[in-house]
Copies of this chain bind each other. A is one copy, B any other.
Amino acid sequence: MIRVAVVGAAGYIGGELLRLLIGHPEVEVVGAVSARFPGKRVDGVHPNLRSATDLLFCSADDVDECDTVFLATPHRAAMTQIDRWIGLAKQVIDLTADFRLNDTKVYERYYGTEHTTPHLLRDFVPGIPELHRESLRTADLVSVPGCMAMAGVLALYPLVARGLVEPMAQFDARTGSSGSGATAGEANLHAERSGAMRVFAPTGHRHEAEMSRHLGIPAAMTATGVEAVRGVQTICHATLRPGVNTSAVRGAYRDQYQDEPFVRLVAYRRGTFRYPEPKILLGSNFCDVGYAVDEENGRLVSMAALDNLMKGGAGNAVQCLNLRMGWPEKLGLSFPGLHPL
Q: Is the CB of B12 within 8 A of A203?
A: no
Q: Is the CB of B23 within 8 A of A229?
A: no
Contact A227/B195 with A50-B264, A222-B237, A339-B15 known, Cβ cut-off 8 Å:
yes
Of A27-35, A40-48, A142-150, which binds chain B?
A40-48
Q: Is the CB of B203 within 8 A of A226?
A: no
Q: Is the CB of B177 within 8 A of A48?
A: no
**How far, in Å, is A239 (CB) from chain B's closest CB?**
10
Contact A222/B194 with A49-B336, A228-B227, A339-B47 known, Cβ cut-off 8 Å:
no
Q: Is the CB of A197 within 8 A of B174?
A: yes
- When all copies of this chain in the complex are counted, the total is 4
**How far, in Å, is A286 (CB) from chain B's closest CB?**
8
A182 to B272, CA, bound (A): 12
A101 to B272, CA, bound (A): 29
Contact A196/B277 with A50-B264, A189-B182, A336-B49 known, Cβ cut-off 8 Å:
yes
Question: How many chain A residues have a CB neighbour from B under 8 Å?
Answer: 90
Asked whether A231 is an interface residue with its Cβ less than 8 Å from the other chain, the reply is: yes
Q: Is the CB of B275 within 8 A of A336?
A: no
A237 to B222, CA, bound (A): 9
Asked whether A303 is an interface residue with its Cβ less than 8 Å from the other chain, the reply is: yes
A197 to B177, CA, bound (A): 14
Q: Is the CB of B264 within 8 A of A195?
A: no
CB-defined contacts of A197 to chain B, threshold 8 Å: 174, 226, 228, 231, 233, 277-279, 305
A194 to B340, CA, bound (A): 9
CB-defined contacts of A47 to chain B, threshold 8 Å: 266, 271-273, 280, 339
Of A61-69, A112-120, A248-256, A293-301, which binds chain B?
A293-301
Q: Is the CB of B303 within 8 A of A194?
A: no
A259 to B335, CA, bound (A): 26
Contact A229/B194 with A172-B235, A199-B235 known, Cβ cut-off 8 Å:
yes
**How far, in Å, is A288 (CB) from chain B's closest CB?**
8
Contact A340/B44 with A197-B305, A231-B197, A334-B23 known, Cβ cut-off 8 Å:
no
12 more contacts with CB within 8 A, not counting A195-B227, A283-B338, are A48-B280, A49-B336, A51-B336, A188-B190, A192-B340, A197-B228, A198-B277, A204-B294, A222-B301, A224-B233, A229-B340, A282-B338
A-B contact pairs, 22 of them (CB 8 A): A46-B339, A47-B266, A47-B273, A48-B281, A48-B337, A49-B339, A174-B197, A177-B191, A184-B185, A184-B189, A191-B229, A191-B340, A192-B340, A194-B340, A197-B228, A198-B275, A199-B274, A202-B292, A220-B299, A222-B301, A224-B235, A283-B335
A-B pairs with the 4 shortest C-beta distances? Answer: A202-B292, A227-B227, A190-B193, A191-B340
